[in-house]
Amino acid sequence: MATMGVLVLLAVLTVLSAAPRDAGPPAGLACLPTWYAGEVTHRADGGWGFVIDGGTFIPWRASVKAAPFDGGADFEEGEEVVDLESIYKVPYVAGPIVTLDATDAGAIDDPGRVRIEQLFLTTYGQSRDEVFDHLGKVRFFGLRYPFHELAAEPLRRVVARLEPAVKENPKLKPFLTNIGGTFIWRKIARSKNLSTHAFGIAIDINVDRAHYWRWQKRGEPLKWQNKIPQVVVDAFEAEGFIWGGRWLHYDTMHFEYRPELLSDSCRGLPEMVRDGGVDAGR
């Protein structure tokens, strides 16, 4: 009987160990090839992951996790991430603008701020010159700005959404003119990692009408601020851009193209075709 019990236990363990692969890759991993260069794979020694140029394997789940943001004055943007699962750890929730409170439990989490630079380098370009060679021009309320060709069309659709809104309400236009900029090859402030601006997939709208957490007086409690209108945020999010105003460490001028964070398929939800949405086959 003891032998039979051991055999049953071994059988159960075998099924459990095989289950992750038999069930297929996690939704957040399976959707990545839609937007990033590489392919989903499974390795006996590393589990599910994403293989990019040169054979580099980025695991879905690593044994060592990235250090959480501490939310204090020493917060560093763009901390190193060791697995893909970390991208989705803090869900990005689009919709009505929510006032953030630093005293709320878990409020130090900034959805979408976890980035894996290797994905961007492989997809958008390994150097300034390589990214530059893949920049197109997008007309954004009067002027043309450089933007990566893989994200240029989504930005054009943002403009198409906002133009009738500006026509109906001219008070929106100052938020969208005299903008902070798009492509610039640089690192994130106080970080060793490249900004998403370096890859030509981010845009800062009018700086004078925005708020940024580092502009607060040093030593003061972190207090979320914003005056970017809901309609502007909605237009960007509908086309796969996340907004820095969703972060407690807020940067309300900032939008970056991160469609994996807004896609229903990446969250494992039934694909919903929205008007111009991220899962609308675009």
Examine residue 114 and state whether it is found in any structural domain, yes or no: yes
| Ramachandran quadrant class, 51 (left: phi over 0; alpha: psi -120 to 50; beta: rest) | beta
Structure tokens at 162: 């906002």
What's the rounded Cα separation, in Å, for the pair 265 and 276? 15
Q: How far apart are CA 74 and CA 190, in angstroms?
A: 9
For 179, the 3-state DSSP assignment is strand
Q: Is 13 inside a domain boundary?
A: no
pLDDT at 178: 96
**Any domain includes 82:** no
For residue 113, with 0-12 CB atoms within 10 Å meaning exposed, 13-18 middle and 19 or more buried, which class applies?
buried
Note the residue count of the chain: 282
Cα gap 188→172, rounded to integer Å: 28
Rounded distance between C-alpha atoms, residue 189 and residue 222, angstroms: 18
> To which H or E segment does residue 206 belong?
strand 202-206
* φ and ψ at residue 148, rounded to 5 degrees: -60, 140
Residue 66 lies in a domain: no
Whether 34 is in a domain gets the answer: no
- At 111 the pLDDT is 92
Region for 168 from its dihedrals, namely left if φ exceeds 0, alpha if ψ lies in -120 to 50, beta otherwise? alpha
Q: Phi first, then psi: give them for residue 250, nearest 5 degrees.
A: -70, 145
Please report the pLDDT score of residue 189 as a whole number.
81
CA distance 207 to 223: 18
Q: Which residue has the tokens 């929106």?
A: 172
For residue 191, the model assigns a pLDDT of 80
pLDDT of residue 215: 93
CATH number of the domain to which 101 belongs: 3.30.1380
pLDDT at 265: 92
Q: Which residues of the chain have pLDDT under 50?
A: 1-19, 67-75, 272-277, 279-282
- 194 in a structural domain: yes
Within-domain flag for 263 = yes
**Domains of the chain: total:** 1
Tell me if 151 is assigned to some domain: yes
pLDDT of residue 79: 53
Domain carrying residue 233: 91-267
